[in-house]
Amino acid sequence: MSVVVNTDRAATIIDGKSIAEDIRLHIAEEVHQMKSTVGHVPGLAVVLVGDRRDSESYVRYKTKGCEEVGIKSLLAKLPGNCTENEVMDSVARYNEDPSVHGILVQLPLPKHMDEERILSVVSLEKDVDGFHPLNVGNLALRSRKPLFVPCAAKACIELLLQSGIELMGKHVTVIGRSKVVGLPTSLLLQRHHATVSVIHAFTTNPEEITRESDIVISAAGVANLVRGSWLKKGAIVIDVGTNPVEDSTSDYGYRLTGDVCFEEAVKVASAITPVPGGVGPVTIAMLLANTLDSAKRVYGLSD
């Protein structure tokens, strides 16, 4: 799909579901080929702590994604009142398991836990979330190549590239600087020679900076933060936000909405991702791709 900028009509909707489906089909073919060649398939292990509904939902999507492409999935589910050592023991067991090629600890963890301490236990070679300090550091150094790039950041770039959008020399504003999305996305954009502005809680003029941008990527986690007035006519918008908003008409009592006020933005932007159905499906596809790449390295099948 190629997005043609047209400022005279409503924005083109960037279909993340369709892009993700194409990626998954390609992964499924490679997994099948791997099984035929070496008799093994990639394995992804998830450590889930507590009973947050959103975390359980994300894990279900990831497990379903594995099933669809033939990747083996394992799940360690621990109670919310467990200790850090119990979580680290689960991670350590997967580190030692040769059938596991990717490990992710579902975030956020309960507040009494030290997230950094737990994530540091994940083997660098199995860090398919891309949060290991060496992976982040190598991403920051353009002369180096990380083993894995964080999945949501990778998904943002994939959506832009698959949509035929040029990044070189473009002014991109990233809203949010978390290690999960904002920071790695800004680093990845610089690898594509974009000019990057990062908006955070202490930015004094976020609306003015955002309005100057060719591309806006929002990962703030604040529903409807970005209004139509924040956008330059013809801007491209990637909305990473997945914020639950009360909705009595929904079966679940809530619906998901993005960081961007879609109804306003669609009248100003030239292209925009919906929520849901935009960044989310491609993020899971990137997780599957990272797990496949890890297994290919182990079995000597890397390009």
Note the pLDDT tens digit of each residue in 98-122. 999 999 999 999 999 999 999 999 9
177 and 78 in a single domain? The answer is no
Task: Give the pLDDT score at 248.
Answer: 78
171 and 106 in a single domain? The answer is no
Query: What radius of gyration do the chain's Cα atoms show?
Result: 19
Q: How far apart are CA 163 and CA 160, in angstroms?
A: 5
Residue 30 has pLDDT above 80, yes or no: yes
Active-site entry in 62, 126, 170, 179: 62
Beta-carbon contacts of 143 under 8 Å, excluding residues fewer than 6 positions away, are none
Q: Kindly report the CATH number assigned to the domain that includes residue 59.
A: 3.40.50.10860
Beta-carbon count within 10 A of 108 CB:
13
Q: How far apart are CA 253 and CA 241, in angstroms?
A: 19
Task: Give the pLDDT score at 197.
Answer: 98
Mean pLDDT calculated for residue range 50-76? 94
- 225 within a domain of the structure (yes/no): yes
- 202 within a domain of the structure (yes/no): yes
62 catalytically annotated: yes
Q: Tell me: the pLDDT tens digits for 243-254?
A: 878 877 877 777
Share of the chain above pLDDT 70, in %: 97
106 catalytically annotated: yes
Beta-carbon count within 10 A of 206 CB:
19
pTM confidence score: 0.93
163 and 238 in a single domain? The answer is yes
- 24 within a domain of the structure (yes/no): no
Q: Kindly report the CATH number assigned to the domain that includes residue 172.
A: 3.40.50.720
Task: Give the pLDDT score at 2.
Answer: 43
177 and 275 in a single domain? The answer is yes
54 catalytically annotated: no
267 and 159 in a single domain? The answer is yes
61 and 157 in a single domain? The answer is no
Residue 3 has pLDDT above 60, yes or no: no
176 and 113 in a single domain? The answer is no
98 and 156 in a single domain? The answer is no
Number of domains making up the chain: 2
Task: Give the pLDDT score at 226.
Answer: 98
- Residue 94's domain spans which residues? 39-125
119 and 173 in a single domain? The answer is no
Task: Give the pLDDT score at 249.
Answer: 83
- 87 within a domain of the structure (yes/no): yes
DSSP 270: S
Mean pLDDT calculated for residue range 191-202? 97
Average pLDDT of the chain, as a whole number: 94
Active-site entry in 72, 106, 154, 179: 106
- 6 within a domain of the structure (yes/no): no
Active-site entry in 15, 72, 127, 129: 129
47 and 101 in a single domain? The answer is yes
Residue 14 has pLDDT above 60, yes or no: yes
